[in-house]
């Protein structure tokens, strides 16, 4: 089974972001022509610098809320990887209007432009947040609960639109529900930074990271290379049963925040022994945080051939080396 896509013309929306830029790097390295559409509201220009001189790379600076920009972006491409969104549950609680406009209107614009242009495959980022208040572990794709945030609602709405557009217009889509993705180029700054880069930055500055709750909460942390693999497999899938589906994309293992902190401290201590002496600070639980998250990745294994290559420990080792080189 073919596992790497080559010689294709691919649009990556949100390509200046964390996941998008990792996708761009991989796909350009496999002789694909890559167009990135980004408005740089959260994406970073420096994430695209390594590709600027590549003749197979094209940048369109624009907003997915503008249908004409979306139409321009899908011109002369075969496939779309739709990563553009306003992430973060807290951000969506603070400003649900913008999250809804970007994540739903922007998504529908992109999907509509793609079907107009007869795009072969539309792969899009969904989220484990769609599982909401469902207490069932591990999470399986067909058992979701009530969404707990505007962000979760936007991602679930996107899945419904994708299914509906396939039925109405015949466009083939694949949705990927990401679980706590981490890796190089994930931004540690700002109010909505994810836990791993935030912890890394604190430790590198000899500051004590804050753990919400007692550290027993757990997540299915997923190294970004596994997520890149899932995108490639979604683009390559030929079995009709594999298309117009949503899939969990994770490693399939739970790591508590206390374990995560210990792993990160150990990895970074290899660069700076003083880091080994740092202890976390424990504070109140965040309202709305679910205690545990764990994915069942059996569906992606069966229908896409997804086999996550990097464990949490291996991913953290690679991420720590990248942050040490790039944030110091």
pLDDT of residue 90: 86
Degrees to nearest 5, angle at CA 141 with 144 and 26: 125
Question: Is 44 within the bounds of a domain?
Answer: yes
Query: Is residue 306 among the annotated active site residues?
Result: no
Please check whether residue 13 lies inside any domain of the structure: yes
Q: What is the pLDDT of residue 87?
A: 87
Q: Which residues pair with 247 in a beta bridge?
A: 176
User: For position 118, which CATH number holds?
Assistant: 3.40.50.720
pLDDT of residue 290: 78
- Angle, alpha carbons 194-199-202 (nearest 5°): 125
Comparing CA positions, the residue from 79, 66, 147 lying closest to residue 115 is 79
Cα–Cα distance measured from residue 122 to residue 70, given in angstroms and rounded to the nearest whole number: 13
Q: Cα–Cα–Cα angle for 173, 221, 2, nearest 5°?
A: 45
The pLDDT, as a whole number, for residue 1 is 61
Predicted pLDDT of residue 191? 66
Number of Cβ atoms within 10 Å of the Cβ of 225? 18
Residue 269 domain flag? no
What pLDDT, on the 0 to 100 scale, is given for residue 177?
98
Is 238 inside any structural domain? yes
In a domain, 34, yes or no: yes
Count of the separate structural domains present in the chain: 1
At a CB cut-off of 8 Å and minimum separation 6, what does 232 contact? 3, 4, 5, 26
pLDDT of residue 248: 98
Strand, coil or helix: what is 306?
coil
Domain that holds residue 170: 9-181+222-252+294-310
pLDDT in tens, the chain (328 residues): 668 988 999 999 999 999 999 999 999 999 999 999 999 999 999 999 999 999 999 999 999 999 999 999 999 999 999 999 998 888 999 999 999 999 999 999 999 999 999 999 999 999 999 999 898 999 999 999 999 899 999 999 999 999 999 999 999 999 999 999 999 999 998 766 789 999 999 999 999 999 999 999 999 999 999 999 999 999 999 999 999 999 999 999 999 999 999 999 999 999 999 999 999 999 998 776 778 899 999 999 999 999 999 999 999 999 999 999 998 7
Active-site pick, 112, 124, 131, 151? 151
């Amino acid at each position: 089974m073919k596992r790497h896509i080559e010689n294709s013309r691919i649009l990556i929306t949100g390509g200046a972001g964390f996941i998008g830029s990792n996708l761009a790097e991989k796909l350009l390295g496999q002789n694909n022509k890559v167009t990135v559409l980004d408005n740089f509201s959260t994406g970073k220009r420096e994430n695209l610098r390594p590709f600027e001189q590549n003749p197979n790379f094209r940048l369109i600076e624009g907003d997915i809320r503008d249908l004409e920009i979306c139409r321009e972006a899908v011109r002369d491409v075969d496939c779309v990887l739709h990563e553009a969104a306003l992430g973060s549950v807290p951000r969506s609680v603070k400003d649900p209007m913008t999250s809804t406009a970007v994540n739903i209107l922007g998504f529908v614009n992109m999907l509509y432009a793609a079907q107009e242009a007869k795009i072969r495959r539309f792969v899009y980022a969904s989220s484990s947040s769609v599982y909401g208040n469902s207490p069932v572990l591990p999470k399986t794709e067909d058992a979701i609960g009530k969404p707990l945030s505007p962000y979760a609602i936007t991602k679930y709405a996107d899945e419904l639109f994708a299914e509906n557009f396939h039925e109405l217009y015949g466009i083939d889509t694949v949705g990927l529900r990401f679980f706590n993705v981490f890796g190089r180029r994930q931004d540690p700054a700002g109010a909505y930074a994810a836990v791993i880069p935030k912890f890394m930055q604190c430790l590198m500055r000899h500051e004590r990271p804050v753990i919400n709750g007692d550290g027993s909460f757990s997540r299915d942390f997923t190294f970004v290379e596994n997520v890149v693999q899932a995108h490639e497999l979604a683009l390559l899938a030929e079995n009709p049963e594999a298309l117009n589906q949503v899939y969990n994309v994770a490693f399939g293992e739970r790591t508590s925040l206390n374990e995560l902190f210990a792993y990160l401290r150990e990895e970074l201590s290899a660069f700076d022994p003083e880091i080994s002496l740092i202890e976390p600070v424990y504070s109140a639980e965040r309202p709305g945080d679910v205690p545990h998250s764990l994915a069942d990745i059996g569906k992606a294994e069966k229908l896409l051939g997804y086999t996550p290559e990097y464990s949490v420990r291996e991913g953290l080792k690679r991420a720590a080396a990248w942050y040490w080189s790039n944030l110091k």
